[in-house]
Amino acid sequence: LDLELLVIYPFGMSGYENGVYGLIIVLLFIGIITAGFVFELGKGALKIDSRQSFNYFNKSKNFVNTFIENK
């Protein structure tokens, strides 16, 4: 999204001279970018797998049992 913000930046800096036509073009651009983002979310292209393990509690329970049994 950094590149998209770079494209919209001139519109924001020339606020008094844009007019309705400039507003329509920027809203159309934002709409196309949003539609592409929603499409990517729907296809699962932005799914990031977690590296975290949810077996932490099972490991700690085994550790405590081992510690008690060795005493």
pTM, full prediction: 0.59
5-26 average pLDDT score: 87
- C-beta separation of 21 from 36 below 8 A: no
Helix (H, G, I), strand (E, B) or coil at 1: coil
Please say if the pLDDT value at position 2 is more than 80.
no
The DSSP 8-state label assigned to residue 24 in this structure reads H
Confidence at residue 29, expressed as pLDDT on a 0 to 100 scale:
93
The model's pLDDT over 43-55, given as tens digits with 9 standing for 90+, comes to 888 776 666 655 5
**pLDDT for position 28:** 95
pLDDT at 66 over 80: no
- Give the Cα separation of 22 and 37 in Å (integer): 23
